[in-house]
Amino acid sequence: MPELPEVETTRRGIDAVMTGHRLSHLVIRHPHLRWPIPPELPALLADQTVLACERRGKYLLLRFAHGTQIVHLGMSGSLRRVPADEPPRLHDHVDWVFPHAIFRLHDPRRFGAVLWHDAKAGPIESHPLLARLGIEPFDPRFDAKWLHDQFKGRRVAIKQALLAGHAVVGVGNIYASESLFRARINPRTPAQKLSLARCQRLFEAIRSTLLDALASGGSTLRDYVGASGEPGAYFTIHAAVYERDGQPCRVCETPIKRIVQGQRATYYCPKCQRV
């Protein structure tokens, strides 16, 4: 699934081209994604100007004067710029057509979303999909104390606590494994057992992991591509534990171990990340 760095990389790519420009029209080929695409969207958005391209968690937010379009890339989706003469492929569901550019949503599994939040319904932050999201990892308020406070009384494993997105949003499966390795914290450790000092290590690891991923355009998630159509390269080269089960740890050479937590694969070093 595209995670925060992939979504932020996509946001930066579309922001540079969409923001401040008039959307000529929206093309909906297949409306049946995770939730049906509202059929009135093409009429609502024709000849409207994109005021901003923002992100909240893994949701892209395209702001217009009369509302906000909410876009989610699902499990394997991408939103990329395409040539005007490129014919749509199977699983190409939506086109944003500008006078100078076309962006196309490709989603093979159809777990993505293209929704609308009318300005009359209140701030976009109140939308049900966004209202319960945790703090952003680059928010100035996010720090070790924030994590420590969020983990109090939580018996769930720290990896699961990170994936839940209540303590901090956007640390998905790949980056949770990598962050916990950098912080030298075992993924099975109950969240409530993390001391303030260990939360400080985890806070620093989350920030550094996500910043490194952003610097390289996100991970190479099999078919993930950014807005320009180029794949990310970060984890192809730099992954410390993710999908490296059986391979030697880059620090101590102990074989990386794979376990399943909440139906998601977790990777860690049993020596560097002792309980």
- Say if residue 219's pLDDT is above 90: no
Three-state secondary structure call for residue 26: strand
Q: Are strands 92-97 and 25-28 parallel, antiparallel or unpaired?
A: antiparallel
- Residues with a known catalytic role: 2-3, 58, 264
List C-alpha distances in Å: 65 to 28, 47, 49, 179: 21, 12, 8, 39
Residues near 263 by beta carbon (within 8 Å), at least 6 away in sequence: none
* pLDDT at residue 232 in the model: 45
| φ, ψ at 97 (rounded to 5°) | -105, 115
Phi-psi region of 100 (alpha: psi -120 to 50; beta: other; left: phi over 0): alpha
Contact 80, 223 (CB under 8 A): no
pLDDT digits (tens, 9 = 90+) for 49-101: 999 999 999 999 999 999 999 999 998 899 999 999 999 999 999 999 999 99
HSE of 164, CA atoms in CB hemisphere, 13 A: 13
Q: What CA–CA distance (Å, rounded) separates 16 from 52? A: 10
Q: How far apart are CA 65 and CA 138, in angstroms?
A: 27
When computed from its CA atoms, the radius of gyration of the chain, rounded to whole angstroms, is: 20
pLDDT band at 218 (very low <50, low <70, confident <90, very high): low
The band of 158, judged by pLDDT with boundaries at 50, 70 and 90, is very high
Place of tokens 């969207």: 41
- Residue 229 is predicted with a pLDDT of 53
Tokens at residue 255, please? 């074989």
220 pLDDT band (50/70/90 cuts)? Answer: very low
Q: What pLDDT is attached to residue 227?
A: 57
CATH number of the domain located at residue range(s) 144-268 in this protein: 1.10.8.50
Helices assigned H by DSSP within the chain: 4-18, 41-45, 144-151, 158-164, 173-183, 196-215, 234-238
Q: What's the Cα-to-Cα distance from 105 to each of 40, 48, 63, 79, 164, rounded to whole Å?
A: 18, 19, 17, 5, 26
- Kindly tell me if the per-residue pLDDT of 233 is higher than 80: no
CATH of domain 4-126: 3.20.190.10
CB atoms within 10 A of CB 89: 10
In whole numbers, what is the pLDDT of the chain averaged over residues? Answer: 91
Amino acid 234: pLDDT: 42
Percent of the chain with pLDDT over 70: 92
SS3 60: strand
Query: Which whole number is the average pLDDT over 30-53?
Result: 96
Residue whose C-alpha is closest to residue 176's, from 202, 141, 197 = 202
Give me the residue spans of the domains in the chain: 4-126, 144-268
Asked if 117 and 127 touch (Cβ cutoff 8 Å), the reply is yes
pLDDT at position 76 is 84
